[in-house]
């Protein structure tokens, strides 16, 4: 794997900083914030991903992998994919050990499977994440917004658990058996696909006389300017889009190399929208908005 320019540098200006992403399934760490993850890793940040479920009930979205032997071993294969993506991104990663809830389909939708992550009592799931936070001691925690990014029951539960754990981890009276208290200093939500970003990429494709994959989506998009205005932090990371793409491709059951993830040339993405975007939700330190850094306002940790 060719390393991006910053990854070849010997200096690590962010050594000592720790960042934790909390995700619902294997592949989410590569489809949400992977380029900024790679940037921070290259700068010396210790990055840890907590994966809430094993993705056992996820669909096979790559037709080339839609084979009986894949379905028969989907749990093991998805773990192997996560391990490859983890190595590409240069991160640590732990499984919280919950079972994928699946995507309920139908009208009305069927009940969720017994014992799945979305039905686990909030306190039980929160304690498990609190123990991981207290062990890793991140300065910054990221997760999904209250809509889950999209309304998958595991994403919504991941949001609920992450927010609860962020606030509980520093409280010595909460979960006393889960380790010494540690308070992350900042909490962020991922904002992956705003209208502004989608439209900018759409217009850039048309300007290059290329077919845009977003034509139909934009035609039916019900705009929510107040939602897009929630973005506070844009992390420049265009030079790491290649690392992001390699991490995505590691999830072969979920990512079609000929699909929508790669419909826009990387050069157009880098020129048009070279950032990954976040919302600062809570902070124990002062920083000026808008930001271009998840660690803005956090003093450099002592060696």
In tens, the pLDDT along 61-93 reads 888 899 999 888 999 999 999 999 999 999 999
48 is in an annotated binding site: no
Mean pLDDT across the chain: 94
Query: 7 pLDDT exceeds 60?
Result: no
What local confidence, expressed as pLDDT, does residue 1 receive?
Answer: 41
Mean per-residue pLDDT, 175-203? 97
User: 34-42 vs 241-250: helix axis angle to the nearest 10?
Assistant: 120
Asked if residue 28 belongs to a known ligand binding site, the reply is yes
* pLDDT tens sequence across 121-142: 999 999 999 999 999 999 999 9
What's the pLDDT band for 99 if we cut at 50, 70, 90? Answer: very high
Check the annotation: does 155 bind a ligand. yes
pLDDT at 6 over 50: no
Task: Quote the pLDDT of residue 10.
Answer: 54
């Amino acid at each position: 794997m060719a390393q991006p320019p910053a990854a070849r540098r010997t200096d690590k200006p962010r050594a000592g900083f720790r960042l934790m992403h909390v995700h619902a399934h294997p592949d989410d760490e590569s489809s949400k914030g992977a380029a900024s993850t790679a940037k921070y890793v290259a700068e010396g940040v210790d990055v840890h991903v907590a994966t809430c479920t094993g993705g056992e009930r996820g669909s096979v979205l790559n037709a080339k992998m839609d084979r009986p032997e894949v379905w028969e071993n989907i749990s093991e294969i998805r773990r192997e994919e996560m391990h490859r993506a983890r190595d590409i991104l240069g991160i640590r990663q732990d499984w919280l050990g919950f079972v994928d809830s699946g995507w309920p389909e139908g009208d009305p939708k069927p009940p969720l499977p017994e014992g799945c992550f979305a039905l686990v009592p909030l306190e039980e799931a929160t304690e498990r994440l609190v123990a991981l936070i207290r062990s890793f001691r991140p300065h910054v925690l990221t997760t999904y917004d209250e809509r889950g990014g999209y309304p998958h029951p595991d994403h919504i539960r991941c949001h609920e658990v992450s927010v609860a754990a962020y606030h509980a981890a520093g409280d010595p009276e909460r979960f006393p058996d889960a380790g010494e208290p540690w308070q992350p200093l900042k909490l962020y939500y991922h904002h992956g696909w705003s209208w502004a970003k989608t439209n900018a990429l759409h217009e850039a494709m048309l300007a290059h006389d290329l077919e845009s994959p977003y034509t139909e989506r934009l035609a039916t998009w019900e705009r929510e300017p107040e939602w897009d205005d929630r973005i506070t932090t844009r992390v420049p990371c265009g030079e790491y889009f290649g690392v992001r793409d390699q991490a995505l491709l590691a999830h072969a059951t979920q990512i079609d190399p000929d699909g929508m993830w790669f419909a826009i040339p990387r050069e157009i993405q880098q020129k048009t929208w070279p950032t990954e975007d976040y919302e600062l939700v809570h902070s124990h330190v002062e920083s000026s908005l808008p930001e271009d850094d998840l660690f803005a306002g956090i003093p450099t940790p002592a060696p």
